Amino acid sequence: CTSVKEFFTGPPEKSVEELTASEIYERGQAQLAAGSEVAAARTFNEIERLYPFSQFAKRANIMSAYASYEGGQYTDARSAARRYVELYPSDEDAAYAQYIIALTYYDNISDVGRDQNITRNALQELTEVVRRYPNSDYARDAALKIDLTLDHLAGKEMEIGRYYLKRGHYSSAINRFKVVVDEYQTTSQAPEALHRLTEAYLALGLEREAIASAAVLGHNYPGSDWYVASYELLTGRDIVPDNDEADGFFSRVYRQVIQGKWL
């Protein structure tokens, strides 16, 4: 008769050592279907450890990467995916493996106020997807994500540019905004960079350069609010009352101390 313990937990699960590669594979898939991705990843890893040369080893490798990624175990997912790309570079799943590597970084991009090392890694791995597997169906999505990471890196330059602008170090600010204008001109940050250049040059008293920046802004982004702001600045009068919060003492305290904004 079945022991009490078995009654509750069902037949004792055979230890992994006793199972064949395909049985372990099925257990992994079952666990994945049941939503316990991390356990599934561990099971797939066992196949690679016990039967490294079986046909299942290759499948298990990519499945372990997928399961770890879904389970949020980004470092494990990355090392499994890297192993796959290294062992089977020209296989049809290699594109997906490289894509997983990129996603492990992309999902963890931190906001612009903080270290952008992860963003740079994401950009590098996403570019690798597009470069090595251009016609895989992951290339299109990777290209899209590349634009977003570029926009994010531009956002970091803007944050530091605004830091110097606010403190009156206008030449430092100009150089930061120029990086955005030169290297990130396709991103959503470019119009603001041009307006900030107008502000900085004007603050230095270099009207000619301020007008030049505003002209480029008007020419490329005629409808943008930033062009309206530059235009007002140059003409010295507020055409449309700026919808900015009133800039009294308490609103500045609220914005900077409570909300943690930089300007």
Partner 1 sequence: GPMSAHAQVAGAGQGAQSQIVIRGNRRIEPGTIISYMALPSDRAITAEDLNAATRRLFDTGLFRDVRVIPADRGIVVEVQENPSINEIAFEGNDIAKDEDLLRIISSRPRFPFTPATAESDAQAIIEIYRRTGRYGAQVEPVIIERSENRVDLVFEIDEGEMTGVSSIDFVGNRAFSDSRLRDEIETRESDFLSVFFSSDVYDPDRLELDKALLRQFYLSRGYADFSLLSATAELAPDRTGFFITFDVEEGEQYTFGEFDVQVNAEGLDAEDFLALIPAEDLTGETYDATEVEEIANELTDLAGEKGFAFVRVQPRADKDTEDRIIDITFELSEGSRIFIERIDIEGNTATLDRVIRREVELVEGDAFDARKIRLTRSAIRGLGYFERVEVEAEPGSGDDRAVLKVKVAEKSTGSINFGIGYSSSAGPIGTVAVTERNFLGRGQIVNATVTAAGDTQVYDLSFTEPKFLDRDLAVTMRGFFIQDDRDDESSFQLNRAGFEPSVAFPLSEDATLQLDYSFSRDDLEAAFNASPAIQVDDGSRFKSSVGYTLSYDKRNDRIEPTGGYLARINQEFAGLGGDAQFVKTRASIKGWQGFFDDDLVASIEVEGGALFTFGDDTRVNDRFFIGGNSLRGFAAEGIGPRDTVNASRDAVGGNFFGVVRAQVSFPIGLPEELGIYGGAFVDAGTLWGLNRTYFDAPAGNTSVSAVTIDDDPKIRVAAGGLLFIDSPFGPIELSVGFPIVKEDFDDDEIFRVSVGTRF
Partner 2 sequence: CAPHMRTHGYVPIPEALARIEPGLDTRSSVQAKIGRPSASGAFDETGWYYVSTVVEHYTFYEPKVIDRTVIAVTFDENDVVEAVDRFGLQDGRLVDLTTRTTPTYGRQLTVIEQIVSNLGNVNAGDVFSDED
Q: State the DSSP string of 165-192.
A: HHTT-HHHHHHHHHHHHHH-TTSTTHHH
Spell out a b/e string for 98-110, using b for 16 or more CB atoms within 10 Å of the CB, else e: bbbbbbbbbeebe
Q: Choose, by CB under 8 A, the member of 23, 39, 83, 151 that binds partner 1.
A: 83
Scanning 7-15, 155-163, 193-201, 230-238 for contacts with partner 1 by CB under 8 A, the matching segment is 155-163
Q: Choose, by CB under 8 A, the member of 47, 65, 112, 139 that binds partner 2.
A: 112
User: Is 93 a residue that touches partner 1 (CB under 8 A)?
Assistant: no
Scanning 32-40, 53-61, 107-115, 138-146 for contacts with partner 2 by CB under 8 A, the matching segment is 107-115
Query: Which conformational region is residue 72 in: left (phi greater than 0), alpha (psi within -120 to 50 degrees), or beta?
Result: left
Site for partner 2 in 39-68 (CB under 8 A): none
User: Is 163 a residue that touches partner 1 (CB under 8 A)?
Assistant: yes
Which of 42, 162 has the CB closer to partner 2?
162
Query: Cα–Cα distance between 12 and 31 in angstroms, integer?
Result: 16
245's contact among partner 2, partner 1, none, with CB below 5 to 8 A by partner kind, is: partner 2
CB 118 within 8 A of CB 105: yes
157's contact among partner 1, partner 2, none, with CB below 5 to 8 A by partner kind, is: none
Q: Which SS3 state, helix, strand or coil, does residue 140 take?
A: helix
CB 9 within 8 A of CB 44: no
Count of residues engaged in binding partner 2, rule: CB under 8 A: 54
For 165-174, which contacts have Cβ atoms below 8 Å and span 24 or more sequence positions? Answer: 165/196, 165/199, 165/200, 166/262, 166/263, 168/203, 170/200, 170/201, 170/203, 170/204, 171/204, 173/200, 174/200, 174/201
125's contact among partner 2, partner 1, none, with CB below 5 to 8 A by partner kind, is: none
Q: Choose, by CB under 8 A, the member of 29, 175, 225, 234 that binds partner 1.
A: 175
User: Which residues are CB-contacts of 21 (< 8 A; sequence separation ≥ 6)?
Assistant: 47, 50, 51, 54, 55, 56, 57, 60
**Which stretches of the chain bind partner 1, using CB under 8 A?**
45, 48-53, 57, 79, 83, 87-91, 110, 113-115, 117, 156, 159-160, 163-164, 166-167, 169, 171-172, 175-176, 252-253, 256-257, 260, 262
**Which stretches of the chain bind partner 2, using CB under 8 A?**
108-112, 114, 119, 148, 151-152, 155, 158, 162, 165-171, 174-175, 177-178, 181, 188-189, 191-192, 194-195, 197, 199, 201-206, 208-209, 212-213, 216, 225, 229, 233, 242, 244-245, 247, 255, 261, 263
